[in-house]
Structure 1
């Protein structure tokens, strides 16, 4: 292919790309992204500021439910509280907790995570709850480590 033909192809591709962006109005959306240890997206779901994101799992020793609850704030995840059903390794034992519906609730000092790293497992059966949707991240990550973060992406036109 000669130089003019290559130039024509390049200009045509540029117009197609601009057309795709224009078709969406250049609109963006905020999404929660979960990537596996290879950096591949295994979950992308829309979120807004204030969306609750919960990492829920079974404590490996106590075999009781643990829920780490975060809120999307300004492009990061902020831990708001932790709910657990019994004391065990890795769970708060020397801080004040509140008892609500038979579970302990701990309100930690505010801290942002970007990204949040979690080593999932099939014993713990890690789930991710975003709003009212539940995702089995242990299964999606094949029991490996994931990173969870919030980002702004261009909306897809399809």
Structure 2
């Protein structure tokens, strides 16, 4: 005895549902707002997920271990990457740019240098209790030391979260 063949109508409906699901997933992907994700390097646990847009400023602020002065590494979200645009600092010393490298001073009197071609798909940071690493995303400030328990983190920009979420439930 031969097993019954599915009807043409059932096949047409199944294909239509599949086409609609793919179209919805594609639309969700295209309309998805990117998110900045901070996750533990060893565990992969997401410690911070926050929406960003292209052009959102992301600043990593910390105290220089030798000079004991504040350093700010300033990035801008561009697509799935973070582009470093400038570094701000208030003293010269070990691991900081030389006087010849500076581009100017901020209104607060800090030195700064600018960058054009430093783009990162992933930033690796080891937040330290002495350095007191803070992450500023737009106007929101996050204590990386507290969130990570002073463990290594990676910072990425993701756009495929809605598609991954949809596929996880199918």
- Give the TM-score band, short-chain normalised: 0.7 to 0.9
Whose helix fraction is larger, Structure 1's or Structure 2's? Answer: 2
Number of corresponding residues: 139
- C-alpha distance in structure 2 between counterparts of 1:74 and 1:28, whole Å: 12
Gaps of 5+ in 1: 1-17
Whose strand fraction is larger, Structure 1's or Structure 2's? Answer: 1
Q: Secondary structure at the match of 2:34?
A: strand
Per the normalisation by structure 1, the TM-score is 0.79
Gaps of 5+ in 2: 1-19, 166-170
- C-alpha distance in structure 2 between counterparts of 1:150 and 1:51, whole Å: 11
Q: Which of 108, 130, 137 is the equivalent residue of 2:115? A: 108
Q: Which of 66, 74, 85 is the equivalent residue of 1:61? A: 66
Partner of 1:98: 104
State the structure with more CA Rg.
2
**1:48 correspondence with 2:53:** yes
Q: Which runs of 4+ in 1 moved over 6 A?
A: none
Kept after mapping to 1: 8 A contact 2:102/2:111: no
Q: Which of 81, 90, 112 is the equivalent residue of 1:85? A: 90
Per the normalisation by structure 2, the TM-score is 0.74
